[in-house]
Structures are given as structure tokens and as C-alpha cells.
């Protein structure tokens, strides 16, 4: 009963689901004075047409898993753009106090804005179905199970990036700071740390490879690479790799996302001049 009440409060009857329409007007509309939305929409359209043209031209030569990797890169960069001003932007516009005075909970605010961003990700996913579908049915060695696993990794990691972005947006007073913090965390975790680990394990032979695989287990690019390697194997190794790469990472990404969203809600209990990252009563 408690779970049903929580679902009703945060999802099905959350007043902040108006954020879905707000995101659509901001990023997918060129009506009125929405110049930013028009520019963003124009750039998205140009990139999308370019991708579709490239896919149609080389549809028999492009592995669909490679296109999912491109989709992952785009979504990882798109998520901070969508959410960095979710809460910090309200503070900048002086509308945060009004929002807190409204008859809604802080959990509804955070979850509503989070769902609003996910709706935009859903639109992007639907757009990618067309080019990925073209390559999937044109490429001779397509493994649809592995393609599904790769898509699950892409979307679950995007959800994690969204949760990280809204966390920083909840903790800082400026949208630019939230964007910088999110991109900094992504750069360190996805680029700097893997590069350092690669240097440390180089020359270790088989043991070095084992340690690298273990340390890179949650890296989305590494996971996609392992899925690509397994997609062309039709032996017991294929089954083993599928059991290690795909579903486990996705479950961990989603679990971490839930924890970070909960953490974001708790941080809103702090006064504006506090900088703690630990919820009250948890120190």
C-alpha cells in the first residue's frame, strides 16, 4: 500500500509532471520568443539528418551496435544540457521560494523535473529507432539480442547521468556550476580514470587484462565494447559474456540512479547557505 501511495504521489498524480510540457516548449519548440529552443532544435535536426543520410548510404557496412555507441555519446552530453538548470535555474530566476511554497513536496519537485528530462530522452530514443533499424536489417551479422542489450546500457547510463545532473543542480545556486560539475565528473570517470588505469595495468599480461576488466566493469564504453565482441561469437563464450555484460551494469546504473535521486531530495532540506552533502541527522 505504501509503495502504491508513493507511486501515486510521485508519478501518476505528481503536479510537477507539467515539467514534461515545459521541456518540450523549451527544447523542441520554435514558437513565440523561444530563440534558444529554435537554435537547439535546428542543430538537432541538422545532426539527425546527417546521421540518417550517412546510415542510408552505408547501411550494409555500419554495425548497428556502433550506432548505439554514437547514441550513447550523444545522450550522455544531452542529459546535462537538459537538467543542469532544473533546480539551480529556479534559484537564479528567484522562483525557487515560490515553488517551495506551493502545495507540493520536495520529492515531487525533484522527481517531476527528472521525469520531464526522461521524456526528452524518450523522444531522442524514438528518433534513433529509425537509423538503428535501417542498419539492423541491412547489416548481415546483426545480433538482435546483443543490440537490445546495448540499447539497455545506453538508456540506463543516460538515466544515471540525469540523476547526477539533478543532484548537482539541487546542491548549487548557479546553473553553470551544475553543468560544470556534471561534465567534470563525467570527464574524470569516463576519460581520466580509465586512461590512468590503462597505464597502470599495461604490461601485466593476462593478469593486467583481468584487473582492467574488473576495474572497468561499470564503464559504459567498455561494456558496449564487450557486447560488440560477443555479438560475433556463437559459442559458450557468447553466453558467458552476455551474462556478465549488459543486464548487470544496467541494474547497477538504475540502482545508483535511485540512490542519487533520493540523495538529491534530502539535500533540499538544507538551508541555502549550507554546503554539506550529507543529509541532516546522518553525520
Average pLDDT per consecutive 10 residues, the chain (283 residues; last block may be shorter): 68 75 66 56 79 88 90 90 86 79 83 87 89 90 88 95 93 88 93 78 54 79 85 53 79 95 80 47 47
In whole angstroms, how far apart are CA 24 and each of 32, 33, 65, 123, 278?
14, 14, 29, 10, 33
What predicted TM-score, i.e. pTM, was given to this entire model?
0.84
Q: Specify the long-range contacts of residues 205-209, CB closer than 8 Å, at least 24 apart.
A: none
129 vs 136: CA distance, rounded Å: 10
Cell of 119: 521524456
**Start-to-end C-alpha separation, the chain:** 31
pLDDT for 152 equals: 94
pLDDT for 241 equals: 55
Question: Do residues 113 and 170 make contact, with C-beta atoms less than 8 angstroms apart?
Answer: no
234 vs 246: CA distance, rounded Å: 17
Question: Do residues 230 and 237 make contact, with C-beta atoms less than 8 angstroms apart?
Answer: yes
Amino acid at each position: 500500500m505504501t509503495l502504491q501511495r508513493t507511486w501515486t504521489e510521485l508519478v501518476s498524480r505528481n503536479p510537477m509532471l507539467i515539467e514534461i510540457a515545459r521541456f518540450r516548449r523549451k527544447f523542441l519548440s520554435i514558437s513565440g520568443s523561444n530563440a534558444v529552443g529554435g537554435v537547439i532544435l535546428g542543430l538537432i535536426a541538422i545532426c539527425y539528418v546527417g546521421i540518417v543520410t550517412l546510415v542510408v548510404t552505408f547501411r550494409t557496412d555500419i554495425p548497428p551496435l556502433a550506432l548505439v555507441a554514437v547514441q550513447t555519446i550523444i545522450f550522455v552530453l544531452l542529459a546535462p544540457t537538459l537538467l543542469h538548470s532544473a533546480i539551480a535555474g529556479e534559484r537564479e530566476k528567484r522562483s525557487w521560494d515560490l515553488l517551495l511554497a506551493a502545495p507540493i513536496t520536495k520529492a515531487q519537485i525533484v522527481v517531476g523535473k527528472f521525469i520531464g528530462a526522461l521524456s526528452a530522452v524518450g523522444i531522442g530514443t524514438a528518433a534513433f529507432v529509425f537509423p538503428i533499424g535501417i542498419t539492423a536489417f541491412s547489416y548481415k551479422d546483426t545480433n538482435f539480442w546483443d543490440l537490445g542489450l546495448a540499447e539497455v546500457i545506453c538508456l540506463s547510463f543516460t538515466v544515471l547521468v540525469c540523476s547526477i545532473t539533478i543532484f548537482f543542480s539541487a546542491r548549487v545556486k548557479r546553473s553553470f556550476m551544475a553543468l560544470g560539475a556534471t561534465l567534470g565528473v563525467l570527464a574524470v570517470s569516463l576519460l581520466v580514470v580509465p586512461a590512468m588505469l590503462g597505464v597502470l595495468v599495461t604490461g601485466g599480461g593476462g593478469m593486467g587484462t583481468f584487473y582492467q576488466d574488473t576495474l572497468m566493469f561499470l564503464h559504459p564504453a567498455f561494456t558496449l565494447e564487450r557486447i560488440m565482441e560477443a555479438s560475433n561469437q556463437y559459442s559458450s563464450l557468447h553466453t558467458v559474456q552476455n551474462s556478465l555484460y549488459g543486464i548487470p551494469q544496467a541494474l547497477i546504473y538504475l540502482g545508483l540512479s535511485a540512490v542519487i535521486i533520493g540523495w538529491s531530495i534530502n539535500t533540499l532540506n538544507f538551508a541555502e547557505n549550507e554546503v554539506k552533502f550529507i543529509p541532516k541527522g546522518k553525520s
